[in-house]
Structure 1
């Protein structure tokens, strides 16, 4: 894929070597607005002296604001922290790792993606249920309500359902809806991508979306109950070996 060179510049200016940098957020989810910022996510490698010495390095690097005319929200974690998050029921890091919108990659990125399959468990359903509940509260809090949090509700519920059934991490709502076939999703996406003036819903729509939220939440809970995914993540030993190799290569 061809990306704006200014995104590559942000990666090149990172203070530490990167294993990978990908695009997350609305661009990954399939509904970026004209004014959407670019959510850059990735893994950096702290210098060995910061790992073994008394002066710690930055486990997490964050950078946000307007840079070269682009609104950027960049967050990277040191390899050890990111690997630990992979072994927990954290859907965010798996989505970032497996994002097809790749700004920077390395052979170690490919190795890590191969290990991601073993990190998927049935308990990732709790991550998506919790995120959907938070976004639903945000949606209901506004008057009139914004489309954005509602799209996030549908995106995470469908991602969770798909993950429980297939073991595959899919974060793009357009792709997810090819299977789910929810007829209202294209219109909601069109509202979100059409700009702020189209980004709100009429109150009359609330009862319908309340029913859909409850229906899909129940569907995710059922998918969790019937999932054949493992109870716990695997691959910790392989990640440890990869981390040691990465550190010693410095």
Structure 2
């Protein structure tokens, strides 16, 4: 994809070295509207004095700006915080780490992607159950109903099922639907791509989509129960060693 210059500029202006920066959100999921903002996610490396001294550096940096008519949302975590999140059942950080839309990378980023495979467990399914439930409530209560929450529901459920089956993080709904072949997904994506971020579905069949939501939740439960993924992560030691090496280099 073509990266606007303002995005490159905001990354270059960050106060700490970056382990990586990737694009998340609708661009990663495969259905950005023409006016979608850019969700940038990454990891920064605090220098040793700002970790062990009395004045600690920022564990999380959040920036929301409008540049050249683009809405840009940047969030980065320090390496220790990000590594601790990887050891929890947090699907967000896995999707950020494995996003193919890479803006900034390092050799250690590639090393981390190898290590983090041992962070994926059966219990990451709970992240996707919870996210889907939140999005269904949002979709159901809004009037008129919007296409974005509906796409998010299908995206997270299919991501979760595929993760349980393969151990692979795939957040792009277009690619996921090449596997799951849900006939209504293409039309929903086409509408989201063509219209504004808050486009609506005036004639949507709520009962149909609720049945699909329930069916895919059941499939995720079945995938969880059948999954051969481990119960707990086994990457703590490798993450510790990488953390120490990165911190000392900084």
Shorter-chain-normalised TM-score: which range?
over 0.9
Measure how far apart 1:2 and its partner are. 4.3
Deviations 1:106-127 (A, max 9, x none): 1110110111110110000000
Deviations 1:135-157 (A, max 9, x none): 00000011120000000000000
TM superposition outliers: structure 1 runs of 4+ over 3 Å: none
Measure how far apart 1:37 and its partner are. 0.4
TM-score scaled to structure 2, two decimals? 0.97
Aligned to 1:129: 129
Q: Secondary structure at the match of 1:123?
A: helix
Provide closer, same or farther for how the CA distance between residues 237 and 204 of structure 1 changes in structure 2, counting only shifts above 3 A.
Answer: closer
Q: How does 1:49-198 map to 2 (within 5 A)?
A: 49-196=49-196
Q: Secondary structure at the match of 1:73?
A: strand
TM-score scaled to structure 1, two decimals? 0.97
Counterparts of 1:68 and 1:50, CA distance in 2: 33
Counterparts of 1:183 and 1:68, CA distance in 2: 37
Provide closer, same or farther for how the CA distance between residues 197 and 121 of structure 1 changes in structure 2, counting only shifts above 3 A.
Answer: closer
Measure how far apart 1:5 and its partner are. 2.2
Measure how far apart 1:15 and its partner are. 1.1
Measure how far apart 1:234 and its partner are. 1.2
Deviations 1:13-65 (A, max 9, x none): 01111000000000000000000000000000112111010111100000002
| Residues 45 and 78, structure 2, Cα contact 8 Å, conserved in 1 | yes
Greater Cα offset, 62-71 or 18-27: 62-71
Counterparts of 1:23 and 1:197, CA distance in 2: 17
Aligned to 2:38: 38
| Residues 144 and 203, structure 1, Cα contact 8 Å, conserved in 2 | no
Counterparts of 2:204 and 2:134, CA distance in 1: 22
Deviations 1:82-118 (A, max 9, x none): 0000010000001000100000001110110111110
Structure 1, unmatched stretches of 5+, are: none
Q: Secondary structure at the match of 1:32?
A: coil
| Residues 122 and 227, structure 2, Cα contact 8 Å, conserved in 1 | yes
| Residues 33 and 197, structure 2, Cα contact 8 Å, conserved in 1 | no
Aligned to 2:16: 16
Structure 2, unmatched stretches of 5+, are: none
Provide closer, same or farther for how the CA distance between residues 204 and 32 of structure 1 changes in structure 2, counting only shifts above 3 A.
Answer: closer
Counterparts of 2:91 and 2:234, CA distance in 1: 15
**Residue-pair matches, total:** 250
Counterparts of 1:145 and 1:34, CA distance in 2: 19
Counterparts of 2:107 and 2:116, CA distance in 1: 15
